[in-house]
């Protein structure tokens, strides 16, 4: 790194997010430099001849409180005096996306006003954000065909032709993806069922106790908010290819 300009990721001390696996700060997280080690890091950068031009922190994913990024900005600004060349504060990503019907989303007006106020108080810094999933989660859905119905005692299972090989988020960290029976949109959601894939693990469950219109073999189910961390995290597990990608665009 000698002669290079670098941005240092600092651990803000606590993580946030909808599941422990997506909390990317705090003592239980592998990411970032612990604040008490910054003085040692400063000496190391001097020894190797690199220039710290930015500081970065990322608390986690699925965060719906705008204050998170204001607090991150203030935290990084409080450290910047140790590195006189710092011009960039990267506040990370994790902008939450509503997943359940009726759930309130991130208040972008509040988000904007908090960061504008910070910029006015600290005009010497550029603010960077990583809004990846927020931009594309709702741009994609997963479609799957019902292959079987099964009853075990009081539990109903609806089997579909793909599963964690196409969308691993529910199995990996319990994420919620709204599910509807696309073939019966006009019918009431009176069936309560576990929606399961064909992979040989009990964890291959896309949704537990979901209310959908009564399904039959051949129906198509839609799993929402699958535009991010879907295909890119897919696999050929159990020798099953993941769902194909189809891109739809409206020409003007």
Taking CA atoms, 214 is separated from 178, 179, 181, 207, 210, in Å, by: 16, 12, 8, 15, 11
What tokens appear for 67 in the block? Answer: 């204050």
Torsion angle of C-alpha atoms 146, 152, 154, 155, degrees rounded to 10: -40
Nearest one of 41, 36, 37, 11 to 26, comparing CA atoms: 11
DSSP character at residue 237: G
Give the active site residue among 27, 152, 154, 200: 200
**Residue 200: active-site member:** yes
Question: How far is 93 from 141, CA to CA, in rounded Å?
Answer: 22
Query: Residue 81: what are its φ and ψ, rounded to 5°?
Result: -65, -20
Taking CA atoms, 240 is separated from 68, 166, 198, 223, 235, in Å, by: 40, 9, 9, 19, 8
Question: How far is 150 from 158, CA to CA, in rounded Å?
Answer: 7
Active-site annotation, residues = 200
């Amino acid at each position: 790194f000698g002669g290079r300009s670098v941005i240092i990721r600092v651990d803000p001390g606590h993580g946030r997010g909808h599941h422990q696996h997506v909390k990317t700060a705090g003592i239980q997280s592998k990411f970032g430099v612990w604040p008490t080690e910054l003085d040692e890091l400063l000496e190391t950068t001097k020894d190797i001849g690199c220039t710290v031009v930015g500081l970065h922190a990322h608390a986690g994913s699925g965060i719906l409180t705008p204050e998170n990024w204001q607090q991150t900005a203030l935290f990084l600004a409080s450290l910047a005096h140790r590195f006189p060349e710092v011009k960039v504060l990267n506040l990370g990503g994790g902008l939450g996306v509503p997943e359940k019907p009726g759930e309130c989303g991130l208040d972008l007006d509040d988000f904007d006003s908090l960061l504008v106020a910070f910029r006015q108080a600290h005009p010497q810094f550029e603010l960077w954000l990583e809004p990846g999933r927020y931009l594309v989660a709702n741009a994609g859905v997963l479609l799957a065909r019902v292959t079987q119905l099964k009853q075990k005692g009081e539990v109903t299972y609806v089997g579909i032709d793909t599963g964690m090989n196409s969308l691993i988020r529910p199995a990996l960290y319990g994420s919620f993806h709204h599910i509807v029976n696309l073939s019966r949109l006009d019918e009431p959601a009176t069936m309560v069922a576990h929606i399961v894939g064909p992979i040989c693990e009990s964890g291959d469950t896309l949704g537990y106790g979901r209310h959908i219109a009564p399904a039959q073999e051949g129906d198509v189910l839609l799993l929402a908010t699958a535009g991010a961390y879907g295909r890119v995290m897919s696999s050929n597990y159990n020798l099953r290819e993941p769902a194909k990608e189809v891109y739809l665009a409206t020409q003007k």
